[in-house]
Structure 1
Amino acid sequence: MARRKKLKHHEEHIDESWLIPYADLLTLLLALFIVLFASSSVDANKFQQMSNVFNQIFSGGTGVMDYPAPVPKASSSSTDKEEKTAETLKKADGKGSFGQQEQKELGEIQDRVNQYIQKKQLTDKIGTNLTEEGLLLTIRDNVLFESGSAEVREIHKGISKEISELLVMDPPRNIVISGHTDNVPIQTYQFSSNWDLSVMRAVNFMKIMLENGKLDPEWFSATGFGEFKPITSNDSATGKSKNRRVEILIKPRTPLE
């Protein structure tokens, strides 16, 4: 019986040259997705840095896998600049947020107003505070208005006019008058909400101020915030009383440094 010849299986060589461009394509796609994901939550400065890395990848420079993070660390000069800006903005009392000359001038205005407050014995009704936005004068609403009314009391119109004299400045400054209420709802034939009441109180108070011919209406504006910017809790009668107020914001002339 003839011996059967064993069949020899010859392994065919598989061409794997296609893996190289395929791997390059996957690497580029990975780089693209990393950049798109990271750029959705970074600032413009970091986005520019990531853009540079992306350009290097496509131009044959440093590969994406050479970086432990999507972008290199920011330079020390950039970090120092960001920290300096943040430190300026975080100043609690607002002093130093604008130029020294401007701070001095607003301080002089504040001193003048405080002298008036003490002379008229209004320390429990009018207050001043130098903030990041400028010099803020706060007037309790019971000094100017009856409950639920936007008309300035006749007996207190004199105080309004005296305050207007304190706002005469050369050169003039932008002045914003804002009305604020507590959170007790109001709905009358005049006012459908606290917003309406606060706006009209600010406007009516501003009109009396502008009866002073030394003041230019061009520099004035009025707004109302209703109950939405309280300075304390509305859980007590005392808190509600403090939140009902009119504010006069005297803005600085120089921008934030």
Structure 2
Amino acid sequence: MSKKHKKEHHEEHADETWLIPYADLLTLLLALFIVLYAMSSTDSKKFQDMSKAFNVAFNSGIGPLDKSSVISDGMMMEDSQNTRRHEDTKDMSKEDKAALMKKEQEDLEQLKKQVDKYIQANGLTTQLDTKLNQSQLTITISDSSLFAPGSAKVKPDSRKLAIEISNMLTKYNDYEVIVSGHTDNVPINNDEFESNWELSSMRAIRFMNIVLENKKLNPKNFSNIGYGEYRPIAGNDTPAGRSKNRRVEVSIIRKFTDASKVIEVSTTPSAASTSTATAPK
């Protein structure tokens, strides 16, 4: 008796694994449209902040959400300065404003002369530079004269410079002073600092702290900021250029400005142009 073989019927199932990446794609598209909608309803300032944050991310590998606050802080500081200047002058007559602008110009020129005289007398022409323009008087100090490489601790023999600057500032105690730190673009990652942002910020703070040991100064007029590698004054493709970019700047901010005039005064050789130090941060 022959056996009857029954053929088993196997139901064919379509391969549906493609649904997973398809669903992911739809999710990403939805997120994209949400972001585009949000950007379309924001103001121009927020858009610029976002643009700068992404620019930092694409050029340095730093996440925009991690560091965009540093950029925003810098922009807020600049906006705050402009607001204060406007409020100081909006109710003044042209004659009063002109007199105050003349007095301010004389003050800043006198302070610059004092600093320049100190630079010349102490042979610091390759380490310090002064520049007076339409917005501020800036004292630029090479980092090699203040800090050891990769450190934010002010050298003991450099404290004298900070103290001397603080003594000069006591005669101009009603001006706003901003201390800013700058680095080159070589990444840093040691036990103390994870990035150039932290190094530049801490160097500015440490130098400012020494200046404010002078009790004749009003701490309310002082602030600090770290710009990391993002405000270079020279190229970072050579050791000499990187040396110029590593610096601390003390900026005495004008309260009155005349946009029609640009005042540029610099009598001392530029530390940036003469320094050839190649030491790292």
Relative to the length of structure 2, the TM-score reads 0.55
In 1: Cα distance, 2:161 partner to 2:104 partner? 27
1:105-124 paired onto structure 2 within 5 Å: 105-124=107-126
- For residue 254 of structure 1, give the secondary structure of its aligned residue in structure 2: coil
**What's the counterpart of residue 164 of structure 2?**
162
How many angstroms apart in 1 are the aligned matches of 2:185 and 2:158? Answer: 25
Residues 135 and 257, structure 2, Cα contact 8 Å, conserved in 1: no
Partner of 1:6: none
Residues 182 and 247 of structure 2 are in contact (CA less than 8 Å); yes or no, is this contact kept in structure 1?
A: yes
Q: Secondary structure at the match of 1:250?
A: strand
Q: Is the CA contact 2:112–2:130 (under 8 Å) kept in the aligned structure 1?
A: yes
C-alpha distance in 1 between matches for 2:178 and 2:258: 18
Cross-structure match for 2:207? 205
Deviation at 1:256, TM superposition (A): 4.0
Q: CA 1:101–1:245 in 2, change beyond 3 Å: closer, same or farther?
A: same
Measured after TM superposition, the shift of residue 143 of structure 1 is 0.6
Rg larger for: 1
Q: CA deviation at 1:155?
A: 1.6
Q: Deviations over 1:146-181 (max 9, x none)?
A: 000001011211121112111112452100000000
Q: Secondary structure at the match of 1:101?
A: helix
> Which residue type is aligned with residue 225 of structure 2?
T
Higher RCO (C-alpha 8 Å, min separation 6) = 2
> Amino acid of the residue matched to residue 122 of structure 1?
L
Q: In structure 2, the residue corresponding to 1:167 is in which secondary structure?
A: helix
Q: Secondary structure at the match of 2:215?
A: coil
> What's the counterpart of residue 131 of structure 1?
133
Structure 2: distance between partners of 1:208 and 1:188: 24
**Structure 2 Cα separation of the partners of residues 245 and 172 of structure 1:** 25
Structure 2: 5+ residue stretches without partners: 1-97, 260-281
For the structure 1 residues 170 and 136, does the alpha-carbon distance in structure 2 shift closer, same or farther, using more than 3 Å as the test?
A: closer
Aligned to 2:52: none
Which one-letter code corresponds to 1:154 in the other structure? P
What SS does the aligned partner of 1:139 have?
Answer: strand
Report percent identity of matched pairs: 43
Deviation at 1:215? Answer: 1.0
- The alpha carbon displacement at 1:253 in A equals 2.4
Unaligned runs of 5+ in 1: 1-95
Aligned twin of 1:145: 147
**Partner letter of residue 247 of structure 2?**
R
Describe the shift of the 1:170–1:247 C-alpha distance in structure 2 as closer, same or farther (beyond 3 A). Answer: closer
Equivalent-residue separation in structure 1 for 2:209 and 2:150 (angstroms): 19
Task: Give the Å deviation of 1:132.
Answer: 2.5
Indicate the RMSD between aligned Cα atoms, in angstroms. 1.7
Q: SS of the residue aligned with 1:249? A: strand
The aligned counterpart of 2:177 is 175
Cα separation, 1, equivalents of 2:178 and 2:132: 15
Of 237, 247, 250, the match for 2:249: 247
1:102 aligned residue (87, 96, 104): 104
The equivalent of 1:237 in structure 2 is 239
Task: Classify the secondary structure of the residue corresponding to 2:171.
Answer: coil
> What TM-score do you get using the length of structure 1 for normalisation?
0.60
Cα deviation code 1:176-227 (max 9, x no counterpart): 0000000000011211110100000000000011111111111100000000
Q: Tell me, what secondary structure is at the counterpart of 1:223?
A: strand
Give the corresponding residue for 1:25: none
Q: Which amino acid aligns with 2:253?
A: K
SS at 2:154 equivalent: coil
- How far did 1:255 drift? 4.3
Pairing of 1:210-225 with structure 2 (within 5 A): 210-225=212-227
Distance (Å, rounded) in 1 between the aligned partners of 2:193 and 2:144: 18
In structure 2, C-alpha distance between the alignment counterparts of 1:127 and 1:114, rounded to whole Å:
8
